[in-house]
Amino acid sequence: MKTIAVLLVGLFSFLAGCQTMAPGKAAYSEDAETDVFQSDTFESYGSFVVAAGTDEKPVDMRLWYSRPDEVTANTPVVLVMHGGRRNADVYRDFWGSYAKQYGVLIVAPEVSEKDFPTGWGYQTGNWVTADSSSVDDTKGERNPPQQSTFAAVERAFDQLRKKFGLTTAEYDIWGHGSGAQFVTRMVMLWPQARIRTAVAANSGTYTFPDWSLPLRYGLKNTGIEEADLKPAYAHHLVVMLGTGDNDPSHRLLSKLEIARAQGAHRLEKGKNFYWVSKAKAEELNAEFNWEIRTVYGIGHSGREMSEAGAKYLLAGKVEEPLFSGDRASSEEDSRPSEIDQLLQGSDEGEDPFSVAE
């Protein structure tokens, strides 16, 4: 019996040793220090940290990913921008199953509070300092463009390409709520971004082509001139709106006059932003590749709008529009409007700039 027991112990030890050598689980650690990554050994879901800053502003950005069964050099990339809670892992999970379904690499960059604090650091891309004001352009100042969050995400994309051995030159980008604010401002303020298609879903505020107001509502203190909008309008930007996101009293919407002037709720704000931008493009005789899309019955839900975004970007599925992009195309759209004078100054005091909006 003693001999049998010894043999059994030896057998179990041998099997345990074989298990520790199995390549699947030991293939990748997100805390590994090595720069040598083999994409075929990555777990389906994971994360790793890349250097995405500059010498003047170092940034360590965590990239949460979901990968398809096979990653090749030309695997498409979709960047998914999280909401104001900075919960990139949650948004990666919203999109995670689409990686294998459509053969794409889903990546959610985490824009941390440490590197880019408050809404000024994230929603407005760190374009201006955190002491800036949405209604008073004498406060704050511009940051160097290379220290913007937009530039950091672009550098993170370069690091992503190296890690997975990609030659993919462009990416699609999607954001909801605060992430949608980031996406629209990235297109407008950083048009050199290597974006193929950008989708902004249910944004709470927009930066209009208005030079009488500072960021985040206008362009007065941004250094952006009219001519700079031409490459922005040439981008393929989709303003995606849930028809149920029509609550003017939503707890995350700013109650300032200047914010309400953009529209009573997110559905109306997005429609007005599109119209005003289209009119500006026509005034500049600029190529305009923006479009507006509606998703029926969905309110302010990142999970549900993720599904709609994936259907659009990855399957090419769209719903019949609730309204046209042409302001004069329907009785509702051609009603007398104050859209051309939307943004008026406000003396209501500073907006706290909700990071969850």
Count other Cβ atoms within 10 Å, centred on residue 191. Answer: 18
pLDDT digits 0-9 by tens, 268-278: 999 999 999 99
Query: Which pLDDT belongs to residue 322?
Result: 61
Burial class (CB in 10 A: 0-12, 13-18, 19+), 282: exposed
Q: Is the pLDDT of residue 209 over 50?
A: yes
pTM of the model: 0.82
Provide the domain limits for residue 49: 45-341
In a domain, 3, yes or no: no
The more confident residue out of 136 and 174 is 174
**H or E element that contains 100:** helix 98-102
pLDDT digits 0-9 by tens, 61-74: 999 999 999 999 99
In a domain, 349, yes or no: no
Contact status, residue 107 vs residue 14, Cβ threshold 8 Å: no
> E strands, the chain, where?
45-51, 60-66, 77-81, 105-110, 171-176, 195-201, 236-242, 291-295
In a domain, 2, yes or no: no
**What residues are paired with 50 via a beta bridge?**
61
In a domain, 141, yes or no: yes
Structure tokens at 85: 């809670």
In a domain, 145, yes or no: yes
**What residues are paired with 199 via a beta bridge?**
174, 238
In a domain, 23, yes or no: no
| Separation between Cα atoms, residue 164 and residue 166, nearest integer Å | 6
| Separation between Cα atoms, residue 307 and residue 98, nearest integer Å | 9
In a domain, 40, yes or no: no
In a domain, 35, yes or no: no
Structure tokens at 124: 């407005």
Interval 157-177 mean pLDDT: 97
Structure tokens at 197: 């298609």
Handedness of CA 126, 130, 131, 133 (dihedral sign): positive
Query: Which pLDDT belongs to residue 317?
Result: 78
Q: For residue 229, name the pLDDT band (cuts at 50, 70, 90).
A: very high
Residues in the chain, overall count: 357
| Domains: count for the chain | 1
| Separation between Cα atoms, residue 335 and residue 261, nearest integer Å | 17
Q: What is the dihedral of CA 297, 302, 303, 309, to 10 degrees?
A: 80
pLDDT digits 0-9 by tens, 233-265: 999 999 999 999 999 888 888 888 888 999 999
335 cis-preceded (ω within 30 degrees of 0): no
pLDDT digits 0-9 by tens, 216-226: 999 999 999 99
Owner of token pair 């930007």: 237
Residue 259 sits in a domain whose CATH number is 3.40.50.1820
Helix, strand, coil % (nearest 5) of the chain? 35, 15, 50
